[in-house]
Amino acid sequence: MFTDFLQLTVAGLSQGSVYALLAVGLIAVYTVRHVINIAQGEFAMLAGLGSAWLTASGMPLFLAILVAILTVTLVAIAMERLIIARVKKLTPLTSIILTLGVSTLLQAIMLLVWGPEAKGVPLFPGTNILIGGVSIRSQEFWMIGALVVVGGGIVLFYEKSRWGKALRACAEQPVAARIVGISPVAASVLAFAIAGFVGAVAGVVASPIYLSLWSGGVLLGLKGFVAAVLGGFVSFRAAIVGALLLGMIEAYVAGYVGSGLRDGAAFLILILVLVVRPQGLVLKPTAVRV
Amino acid sequence: MTHAIMPTPVEMRSPRKRFWINNKGTLIGCGILVALMIVVPFTASSSIMNIVVFAMIFALPAIGLNLLMGLAGQVSLGQAAFFAIGAYTHAILLTKLDLPGPVAATIGVIAAMLVALLVGLPLMRLRGHYLALATLGLGFIVMIGVREWDVTGRTTGIYGISRPTVFGIPIDNSGFFLWFVTPFVVIGLILALNLTHSRAGRALSAVNDSELAAESLGVNTYALRLKVFVLSAGFAGLGGVFYAYQVAIVSPATAEFHLSVSILLMVVIGGLGSVWGAVAGAFLVQFLGEGMRDIIPAIFPGATGEVQLLGYGIVLILVILLLPGGLHQAATTLWQKLPFAGKRPPGDAHAHATWDDTTIPQLPMVSTPVAAGEPILVISGLTKRYGGVIAVNDVNLTVPAGSILGLIGPNGAGKTTCFNMISGALTPTSGTVTFLDQVISGRKPNVAASHGLTRTFQNLQVFTSTDVVGNVYMGRYRKGSAGVLRGMLGLQAVEQSAHRAASYEILKSMRLTDAADDSASDLSFGKQRIMEVCRALAAEPALLLLDEPMAGLSGAERDVMAELLRRLRTAGLTIVLVEHDVAQVMSLADHVAVLDDGVLIAHGDPESVRNDPAVVVAYLGTDLDEAEAELSELEEHA
Amino acid sequence: MTLIVSGLDAGYGKLAVLHEVTFEVARGEIVAVVGSNGAGKTTLLRAISGLIRPTAGSVTLEGRTITSKPAEKMAGYGLTHVPENRLCFPTLSVRDNLMLGAWTKKGSGDVDSVLELFPRLRTRMGQAAGTLSGGEQQMVAIGRGLMADPTAIMLDEPSIGLAPKVVAEIMEVLSRLCVEKQLAVLLVEQNVRASFKIAHRAVVMHRGRVALTGTPAELVELPEVHNAYLGGAAA
């Protein structure tokens, strides 16, 4: 009974880690550009499908993953330079339609290149563990580990590094950031690169268990969005906590209520949060908190 | 001086002629559409027929989404949700309860609208991005819901939907079906077009240009947007009903996200805000999709599934980058390049310039609910705190009717904050603002507006998508009463022409008649400012708040404005203005209030305020003793 | 002459604010720009620092034409702008705010000399800038501007919302700074008295034009200055 609960919790935490990484990517872009990147989920699927294909063609696992992550990061930068940067006045309407267009285009490309079936990257090396009746798969360690390392790394980047602080400056006071000499173009490119990078990591690390599908990015991106909303779209930490909570709630719903209703949980949470407490889990509504 | 021959104003012709002139475009367009739909079944191949039928079916949710996105300015990524609700409800009622077609269909549409109302009540308060993603989530909720619920047939869905019969004739082929759908699409078109040109439609258009200004004229943005949201869902639901009939199966795929994307694409291709564009977009997207499904497997062998998404994605991006106004923009640009396009003859602009330059021909009407001298606006203990900073500190003022109050003070003194609290744009931390014995503080600006309080804006809030007379016409909003329903049914011609005439009259008083038909954004800054004042006056206010009305005006324009304000005051209008040009305020105002650091430091007639040492200190930054010494020195020199 | 503004026209879309503004600032000189609101003072600084594009005229800094160059390049050229409302980065620490000021110097900035000017900040280095008082935030904003080791520095109404004592403190620092580092200082202020105390020359703006120039001593006697603010006090 209790082991079931723990089992579900572990599954929830690992799945939530993926959502958390996506939320980080969404917030990174939004704080600098005020664009909600609807294509965020596609970054994950692209990396997953790409690395699955590379490993199937014979490339060693870690090299394939590296190449995939790098490629998707470049795709994200290309999206910023070739498409987002070209619009002079980005209103919520135009930015939604634009990123929706990119999302649709990426989905179609993935469908044409890799077909309609789901594909998975081989399981990462490691052994499954059994603790007190609860089995934790090694891949789930990898997923949670990815959040800790990559997600944590990004948070540290924003807190300690020169460019991280510059990005926060751009988000908090865009005018002063320019005056001080921070190039808005460089900041925008960096933000998208981060989004591409974390999205790719999330996609690659989740692929062995949850598989990558050409159309899977929409749902995944949406879950990331729910987590970002829980973070008030400003706080990485709150978004990560929210993502883990979301993952766990989904796992409980799937386990105790019905697996088909699993995805519904995210949307109900979304609508509840938007209506009742739009700033999410953020306690003190300050300008920008990373 | 020769006068160009002025065409007879529309309002003065016979009702039948008037109807034709006002609705020419719609009637011709519908005529062409109907003619095409009659002809197509006889001439087109079966695959083309198929495309056309689906285009007409999807034209309905496209029109609905266009109203939401173009008119109400809100993005919905979940139009398919309402489409599916309409389809499912209709299908279930037909197959499981054996209800007659029209009844089931009506209930289907109502179901979609009810869900939209339920969902819209909380969601319509959300802004831009959040609403878009909430509707996206809604789409998924509906899809998951129908997939998991027995009543909706789970993954199988509802099948075996029988063909409709109209007057005993079964609609069993595509041609008949096309003729079956067309009247509904045409009616939908007409209703949507009517709405766009109606009072509600113009109000929404104004909100898109400037929500602030629209609300200050009495527009209840939330209520209007909610109504359009529900309406848009109704259109989608009706589309779903026809879809159910045509395909005879309704499955969870009907609520799929990709369907919402394709409907969005129809609206974007056609051009946001253009109803005809939405219809054209529906056709284009169907043809595009079909074309892609043919071409792509040829280029990429083995490609299956939703390959048309490639085209959809590329087109979405390209339209926004290259032609954001869609087909509508392309069509209007082309039309204007044509030699016979209806351009006004060049001499027209000056045909009306016969007025004597110094007098104001006719004063706009004002309302005087309170006798002159009696308090009309009472500000009590008004305070605004931002965290630890007190922007406005316990301000108390009473404004007598029929007078001009000038609110002055150095930069950062809190004048604009105060102003915004009076007009309802900002909620006070404490204190009240009472207008005509109604507490208006803390309530949305449209509440104050409906009682007769309007304002102008320091950063001009011009409605750029309409012409000058259109802007002033929006000022008449609170004097009108036609809502969304009457708007759709086109039952407001009389009211509209009366208001239009009134707008022209007001433009006359500020000598802007020659610019009446110009696009508002083409006017010089000074004239835009004057137009904003005209717009506020069009509401026949009892109190007018002016935020820096003189800024940006030339000397002559300032004189005209000042003259107008004086005459309005004499006619009984109460005016409160914020101005930096202290000299101007001193010469114009009956009373002056001075704010410094959020505190009211002086209040009285101009002369005594001007000589108040505290005021001098506030402006010139000297300290009190020095200021007094300086003043007496200056007086000696004078 | 370090900073030369010549025939500058600028505005926001339809609204033309500045008309043919011309003046100069030399190194080691403080030039005050005063005028009532709506006179175009903030617009002037924005036009010089590249936040808005001038429609006519030119701006040169030490011989280099900087008209219409993007704002993010200005710090590199040696021009710093301390904006209206200070605009500190609220969640970043005082140290981080200052270090970002040295962005164009790739992070090697002289924090110590800034702390010597504003010793009050020493105890606040780790504090989030948004939690500081108005006066302290102004110090951070000025310090941030100095970190780029500029040739010219422009300040937009630094005295707003500050107590007279703090204003005096800041003005004193500006004066010292100007002499020690031989900066060209362009000081926009509404507080005429405080700015005139330290300025070598002053420019009075009215409705977007330069109405008067001269030394503070010359200008403060003129009734026009009084008029520009209060209108007709002395006819």
Query: What is the layout of strands, in order, in the sheet containing C201-206?
Result: C79-82, C152-156, C184-188, C29-34, C201-206, C209-214
The whole-number average pLDDT for the span C153-181 is 88
Query: Of B10-24, B78-92, C116-130, C136-150, where does mean pLDDT reach its minimum?
Result: B10-24
Mean pLDDT (chain B, rounded): 85
Chain B from 307 to 336: CB within 8 A of any A CB: 307, 309-317, 320-321, 324
The whole-number average pLDDT for the span C143-172 is 89
- Residue ranges and CATH numbers for the domains of chain B are 32-255 (no CATH), 366-452+541-638 (3.40.50.300), 463-538 (no CATH)
Mean pLDDT (chain C, rounded): 87
Q: Looking at the complex, does the CB of residue B184 fall below 8 Å from at least one CB of chain A?
A: no
- Residues in C whose CB is inside 8 Å of some CB of A read 49, 51, 70-76, 80-81, 83, 87-92, 96, 99-101, 103-104, 107, 130, 144, 148
pLDDT at A285: 55
Interface probe for C, chosen from A180, A183, A185 (most Cβ of C below 10 Å), is: A180
All chains having 3 or more CB pairs closer than 8 angstroms to chain A: B, C
**pLDDT tens-digit profile of C31-71?**
999 887 677 888 999 999 999 999 999 999 998 999 989 99
Residue among B548, B584, B634 whose CB faces C226 most closely: B634
The whole-number average pLDDT for the span B148-160 is 87
Residue among A94, A109, A225 whose CB faces B320 most closely: A94
- Residue B40 confidence (pLDDT) above 90: no
Q: Looking at the complex, does the CB of residue B107 fall below 8 Å from at least one CB of chain A?
A: no
Output the pTM of the full model.
0.88
Chain B from 196 to 235: CB within 8 A of any A CB: none
Contacts of A174 in chain C (CB under 8 A): none
User: How large is the greatest C-alpha to C-alpha distance in chain A, in angstroms?
Assistant: 60
CATH at residue C189: 3.40.50.300
Contacts of A162 in chain C (CB under 8 A): 99, 107
Nearest residue to C5 via CA among C19, C21, C18: C21
Q: Which residue has the higher pLDDT, B357 or B200?
A: B200
Interface probe for A, chosen from B121, B124, B130, B148 (most Cβ of A below 10 Å), is: B130
Q: Which residues of C9-36 are buried (b: 16+ CB within 10 A; e: fewer)?
A: bbbeebbbbbbebebbbbbebbbbbbbb
The backbone torsions φ and ψ at residue B244, rounded to the nearest 5 degrees and listed phi first, read: -60, -45
Give pLDDT tens digits along chain A (290 positions).
788 899 999 999 999 999 999 999 999 999 999 999 999 999 999 999 999 999 999 999 999 999 999 999 999 999 999 999 999 888 888 999 999 999 999 999 999 999 999 999 999 998 898 888 888 999 999 999 999 999 999 999 999 999 999 999 999 999 999 999 999 999 999 999 999 999 999 999 999 999 999 999 999 999 999 999 999 888 999 999 999 999 999 999 999 888 888 888 888 888 888 878 877 777 665 444 44
Which chain A residue has the Cα nearest residue B303? Answer: A112
Contact state of C193 with B634 under an 8 Å Cβ cutoff? no
* Domains: count for chain C: 1
The Cβ of residue B556 has, within 10 Å, a number of other Cβ atoms equal to: 10
End-to-end CA distance of chain A: 39
Residue C87 lies in a domain: yes
Q: Could you tell me what percent of chain A has a pLDDT over 70?
A: 97
Using the structure block, give the residue that is written with the tokens 């308060």. Answer: B125
Residue C142 lies in a domain: yes
The whole-number average pLDDT for the span B632-636 is 55
Contact state of B313 with A264 under an 8 Å Cβ cutoff? no
Contact state of A104 with B313 under an 8 Å Cβ cutoff? yes
pLDDT at B626: 54
Q: Give the dihedral of Cα atoms B317, B318, B321, B323; nearest 10 deg.
A: -130
Contacts of C104 in chain A (CB under 8 A): 180-181
Supply the range of the domain harboring residue C57.
Answer: 3-230
The whole-number average pLDDT for the span B574-582 is 86
Contacts of B148 in chain A (CB under 8 A): 258, 260-261, 264
Q: Tell me, what's the ipTM?
A: 0.91
How far A231 CA sits from the closest chain C CA (Å)? 16
Q: If DSSP states are collapsed to H, E and C, what string results for chain C?
A: CCEEEEEEEEEECCEEEEEEEEEEECCCEEEEEECCCCCCHHHHHHHHHCCCCCCEEEEEECCEECCCCCHHHHHHHCEEEECCCCCCCCCCEHHHHHHHHCHHHCCCCCHHHHHHHCHHHHHHCCCEHHHCCHHHHHHHHHHHHHCCCCCEEEEECCCCCCCHHHHHHHHHHHHHHHHHHCCEEEEECCCHHHHHHHCCEEEEEECCEEEEEECHHHHHHCHHHHHHHHCCCCC
Using the structure block, give the residue that is written with the tokens 């000297």. Answer: B622
**pLDDT tens-digit profile of A47-60?**
999 999 999 999 99
Contact state of C234 with B637 under an 8 Å Cβ cutoff? yes
The backbone torsions φ and ψ at residue B86, rounded to the nearest 5 degrees and listed phi first, read: -60, -45
**pLDDT tens-digit profile of B307-357?**
899 999 999 999 999 999 899 999 988 888 887 655 444 433 333 343 345
Residue C175 lies in a domain: yes
Interface probe for A, chosen from C80, C93, C103 (most Cβ of A below 10 Å), is: C103
Contacts of C70 in chain A (CB under 8 A): 178
Residue C28 lies in a domain: yes
pLDDT at B559: 84
Mean pLDDT (chain A, rounded): 92
- Residue B516 confidence (pLDDT) above 70: yes
Residue among C51, C91, C100 whose CB faces A180 most closely: C100
Strand ranges (E), A13-66: none
Q: Looking at the complex, does the CB of residue B143 fall below 8 Å from at least one CB of chain A?
A: no
**pLDDT class for C235, splitting at 50, 70, 90?**
very low
The whole-number average pLDDT for the span C105-121 is 85
Coil, strand, or helix at residue B486? helix
Which chain A residue has the Cα nearest residue C105? Answer: A181
How far C130 CA sits from the closest chain A CA (Å)? 9
How far B518 CA sits from the closest chain C CA (Å)? 15
Contact state of A180 with C144 under an 8 Å Cβ cutoff? yes
Contact state of B310 with A100 under an 8 Å Cβ cutoff? no
Contact state of A274 with B77 under an 8 Å Cβ cutoff? no
pLDDT at B345: 44
All chains having 3 or more CB pairs closer than 8 angstroms to chain C: A, B
Residue C235 lies in a domain: no
**Alpha-carbon distances, residue A35 vs A32, A221, B139 (angstroms):** 8, 14, 21
Residue among C16, C229, C235 whose CB faces B638 most closely: C235
Nearest residue to A248 via CA among A1, A4, A11, A2: A11
Contact state of A260 with B148 under an 8 Å Cβ cutoff? yes
All chains having 3 or more CB pairs closer than 8 angstroms to chain B: A, C
**pLDDT tens-digit profile of B458-486?**
888 889 888 888 898 888 888 888 788 87
**pLDDT tens-digit profile of B357-383?**
555 667 778 888 888 888 899 999 999
User: Contact at 8 Å (CB) between B605 and B592?
Assistant: yes
Contacts of B309 in chain A (CB under 8 A): 104-105, 107-108, 111
pLDDT at C137: 92
How far A94 CA sits from the closest chain B CA (Å)? 7
The backbone torsions φ and ψ at residue B313, rounded to the nearest 5 degrees and listed phi first, read: -60, -50
Q: How far is CA B633 from the centre of its chain?
A: 57
Strand ranges (E), chain A: 129-131, 134-136
Q: Look at strands C201-206 and C209-214 and give their pairing.
A: antiparallel
Chain B from 83 to 102: CB within 8 A of any C CB: none
